[in-house]
Amino acid sequence: MPGMPGTSQYDGFGVYGVAGASSLLTVTPVVTASTPYSAGYCVGGFLTFGNIFRSIGRGILVNAFLGIGAIENASFSLYLLSAPLSGASSVSDNAAPTIAIADASKFIGLPIALATYVNESAISLYEVTAIQKIVRSTDGTQNLYGYVTTASALTNNFTTTNALTVGLGVLLD
């Protein structure tokens, strides 16, 4: 169903698995309710954007967005990876990430800065468009991986454990 967390959507301009198709995938990780997040902490832990590439294994990232179930004005960074982190690395919700040197090659460029936002009623929406970053999976799946960190302490605590949605839009190659 379009718009549901963890589902892919196609824009109708391409055929499944053929150049010109697009994929929009959202994930809703579990966040810590009623507890402050400090600067540099992960929000939502390690993310898996499952089957975002369908059968192709690569694409062009065109946009990234966050939906937050609270009014927030902190900036965020979205780190993308082509494969899961090794056991030597740690990315957990409401904790600073620890990345092993062996995992450096899994990062897809610099993090995406999510600093432009709109507060609407009781939610905050963040988006970066026109990213145009080539992304691919290197672990034999059709997945992308990542995590979100906050640049400063969050101004409001989450009130529910499903108060964060992270989304990616990819043009399939």
- Phi–psi pair at 11, nearest 5 degrees: -85, 0
Residue 9 has pLDDT above 90, yes or no: no
pLDDT at 43: 97
CA separation for the pair 65, 13 (Å, rounded) = 22
Q: What is the mean pLDDT of residues 121-149?
A: 94
pLDDT at 20: 63
Q: Specify the higher pLDDT residue, 133 or 14.
A: 133
pLDDT at 32: 95
Instruction: Tell me the two tokens of residue 147.
Output: 């995590």
Q: Specify the higher pLDDT residue, 80 or 4.
A: 80
DSSP per position, 98-127? B--GGGGGGB-SSPEEE--EEEETTEEEEE
Domain boundaries, the chain: 28-164
Question: Tell me: the pLDDT tens digits for 39-83?
Answer: 999 999 999 999 999 888 899 999 999 999 999 999 999 999 999
Percent of the chain with pLDDT over 90: 79
Q: What is the mean pLDDT of the chain?
A: 88
**Whether the Cβ atoms of residue 85 and residue 125 lie closer than 8 Å to each other:** no
Residue 43 contacts by C-beta under 8 Å, 6 or more apart in sequence? 31, 37, 76, 93, 94, 148, 149, 150, 154, 164
DSSP label at residue 84 = P
Q: What is the mean pLDDT of residues 94-112?
A: 96
pLDDT at 11: 40
CA separation for the pair 46, 139 (Å, rounded) = 16
- How far CA 71 is from CA of 5, 22, 115, 117, in Å, comes to 20, 30, 14, 10
pLDDT at 56: 84
Question: Tell me: the pLDDT tens digits for 10-40?
Answer: 343 333 344 468 889 999 999 999 999 999 9
CB burial readout 41-65, b (16+ within 10 A) else e:
bbbbbbbbbebbbbebbebebbbbb
Rounded to a whole number of angstroms, the CA Rg of the chain reads: 16
pLDDT at 17: 41
